A and B are shown apart, each in its own frame.
Chain A
């Protein structure tokens, strides 16, 4: 079945850039999403990218998609302590009946 993988943990210094990586197996993916989860809260949509795009930029966030390698990354510029959270990558396949497949999440810790 489809699978989405992420590294578990990333630690960066405040002001540096963060790069969170994700790989997926479904070659029919249509949309790929990044969600942020703060402690005790639900998932908040950060951004998404359509599978025929290579890059999407939204303020401090840059999403890069390498469809050939099935690799997705989220870059956060000028990382702030408020960016500390768990980040989930998710993909939706063309034949997934509206279901999302989530990675296990990457915990980002921003050090002052």
Chain B
């Protein structure tokens, strides 16, 4: 299994509070991604990073920001959580070479009350 951890694994928070999710990798891969998974929608890309301090938006980026100050860490921040952001969040990594296969972390289940 690729060395990807996510923290926390579960979180319950209230509407309007800030939340930060962390993804940590030990594979030294260049690319990192944040997805959210909702019933009937599969996985949808929120943001991705193609290097330290280099990030770009995905298809559902509104209400989210990211930061990557080190190769191994990619943070996802919900500045003011809303109930519509209740979801399971997955981090993924890839090396950008050949098949550029993405490997996924175990996920964070976030509930916004």
State the Cβ distance, A7 to closest chain B Cβ, in Å.
Answer: 13
The residue on A at minimum CB distance from B94 is A98
The residue on B at minimum CB distance from A105 is B42
Cross-chain contact of A102 among B42, B103, B106 (Cβ < 8 A): B42
How many chain B residues sit at the interface, stated as a range, is 20 to 34
Is A42 at the interface (CB under 8 A from chain B)? yes
State the Cβ distance, A47 to closest chain B Cβ, in Å.
Answer: 10
Instruction: Using A43-B104, A98-B94 as known contacts, say yes or no to A104 and B58 having CB atoms under 8 A apart.
Output: no
**Are B50's CB and A31's CB within 8 A?**
no
The residue on B at minimum CB distance from A50 is B99
How many chain A residues sit at the interface, stated as a range, is 20 to 34
The residue on A at minimum CB distance from B9 is A40
The residue on B at minimum CB distance from A41 is B106
Instruction: Compute how far the CA of A97 lies from the CA of B96 in the bound complex, rounded to whole angstroms.
Output: 10
Is A19 at the interface (CB under 8 A from chain B)? no
Using a CB–CB distance below 8 Å, which chain A residues touch chain B?
4, 31, 33, 35, 41-45, 48, 50, 88, 90, 92, 97-100, 102-105
